[in-house]
Structure 1
Amino acid sequence: MEDVIELAYALDTFYFLLSGALVMWMAAGFTMLEAGMVRSKNTTEILTKNVGLYSIAVIMYMLIGWNLMYESDGGLFGLLPSFSFLLPASEPFTAEMARAGEVDASYFSDFFFQVVFVATAMSIVSGAVAERMKLWAFLIFAVVLTGLIYPIQGLWSWGGGFLDELGYSDYAGSGIVHMAGASAALAGVLLLGARKGKYGPGGQVRAIPGANLPLAALGTFILWLGWFGFNGGSELSVSSADAANAVATVFMNTNLAAAGGVIASLLLARALFGKADLTMALNGAIAGLVSITAGPDTPSPLLAATIGGIGGVLVVFSIVALDKLRIDDPVGAISAHGTAGIWGVLAVLLSNDEATVTGQLAGLGAIFGFVFISSLIVWGVLKITIGIRASEEDERNGLDVSECGMEAYPDFTGARAK
């Protein structure tokens, strides 16, 4: 019997690690998507931001974030974490504990799986503030979001806090990860302002095409693949028949929702604009994935595709609406992760009998309110101290040279100059 339990421990540990690696690969997806959706003169800066934010997230979650979120025993009144620092110096779970069935998987494998979620939330911010934010202001904000803001609101639900007590249900993080990232992004965009030339004096919306749509499409497919680890790994186990069946359901529904999002956004774009808009289709895929993330384990296949399809419709309308409000989001991140994230949290009610309207609304309100307000404060402090917006000249010339001292496509830009 001990051998069976030990084998289950090893299998679930391996599943955590494999799922975490898939989610880590989503960092490449966000990087490629954003690099494809911005102008060539800002590509190197986007790449630097993404590799930097991922590394900051890993270190900050090791230093303090993990302890705030999961070692606070639900927090004071389910709200305030206890402060402690650093992971254990060595794996705290022993082979004897595994054989006795006292623990389900390696402590460090759980940390690895959770830390890549933190980086995902911060990646959402990167695309929304692209092409006009100072690099170092962004990276400083990444320190605060990944070390403090994300873990505190994560404590409220996944860490056994008050939202968990209220019955808030969010399987893999439509609200906890995606809406949280979009809320932080919205706060930054409001203080940052739009890119120069994006909006005309009469309210016209001027398209600013991305430099590399093949790269953006590749990034979306990478995200789609990584999402199987994001949602599938959130089952937290694969070592029993029931767990394996649940994982298969999650994979299937995740895939169906993404496909539904693409088809719905393509059809709506055709109806609204008369063309098959690739950028809307790419955001439709992401919106479908975000929409199913809060509850991929309970819908039927048809309902999963429908949930994703509704997400695909919402993201198109949301992108258009934000442009009308002159809220400039170069990659559509606020819509794909925020608007679709809200829908995903509410969509849980369609198939999960244990979820309640009160619990889901409380989760949405608490997460958005805390992340938006705290992010607004941090962005505001950065704005009045070191500044968050690049100069008009740097924005015109591109952030690659001013922030990184190199161009992503020097041969191409040199040839064009000649």
Structure 2
Amino acid sequence: MGRERVADIVVVVLAGVLSLSGTVTQVPILREPYDLFVFCLLVASALSLWFRRRAPVAVAWLMATLAIILVAAVRVWPGLTPGTRLEPEITLLPAAVPFAAYAVAVFARNRRLAWPPLVVVAAIAFLGAPPSSRAIAVAGMALILVGAPAVLGRYVVARAERVRRGHHLRAEQARRQERLRVAAEIHDVVSHRVSVMVLQAGALQLTAADEASRQAAGQLRTTGCQALDELRDLVGLLNAAGPAGSANTGLLEPMPDLSGLVESARSIGTIVEVDGAEGPCLLPPVVGRTAYRVVQEALTNVHKHAPGARVRLQVRHLPAGIQVCVRNTAPTRAGDAVLASAGAGAGLLGLRRRIELINGTLHAEACADGGYRVQADLPSVLPAAGESP
């Protein structure tokens, strides 16, 4: 049994005990027929507290209704029989009222609907008091039984909210610190080594004796330079001071050419249909390269997991950015098990994190026809310096 259920049982039992005590002290139980009726009302109010978490406002209105009936039962109904009128002390309210007032303040989703039943209960307590009672004493009792629990409930909610916000801020700070650490590591280790590789490839391109070696060194240097550009993008996005380099300088570049990826996929037998957006598409460099990586990863996954499938590549201009969608049909033949197991989903996971860094979204899901769809919605405006993605 959970803690909430235990608390519910304790509250119901406590309200029931207080109801019994109030009945014995103020209404002599079983001496007259209406005494049993009043007792049943008080027990019903206690039992209704079981639902105070799920329907706090309804329980509060029930308390208001029971309070009206209670006042009528004790002050009006007994008066119909000569000699049986009772004069209860100060005010008449179900013992469950404080618990209901607290529950309304804590569990009610709509605050505007939470307070009217409490006002009604307090008004009934004031109007139902015997004429001999002092107004100040009646108002004080209503404040203690209705107002104080409600205020306590709001204080508990506000304190819990402050604690939650504190936890969120600490978690956000920890994430920012981790991003700084990763950015520093990429910059100090990975970028340095790739730079050395690019320099060595450039030197080899100049000194190689044969043309094939010079071409291979040139391709290696070009690939290394592209890797450095992407590393600078990632370092800038991970940096808490804001994207650096070309990530957020306001510079816009054309969408990277996807024809090389398409031709590469076609060269190994994959049928690729391209539905490109009309007109030029200018994007921040990091967004364009991310779109390129989406297509690259999606086509690679088709080659690994869906041999023989047909692929449709769509690029759409959106008011707030660009949408890239790669959808393939079901595979027509079995693939290489060793090739399919390589990576184990790490590519899409890394791609998703990269896209989230620029406030984009990635949807990767299986389709009803046995195919698969990878769709990325990328923004045309990156977070400003100091903003959290």
Q: Normalising by structure 2, what TM-score?
A: 0.25
- Greater strand proportion: 2
Q: Normalising by structure 1, what TM-score?
A: 0.24
Structure label with greater radius of gyration: 2
- Greater helix proportion: 1
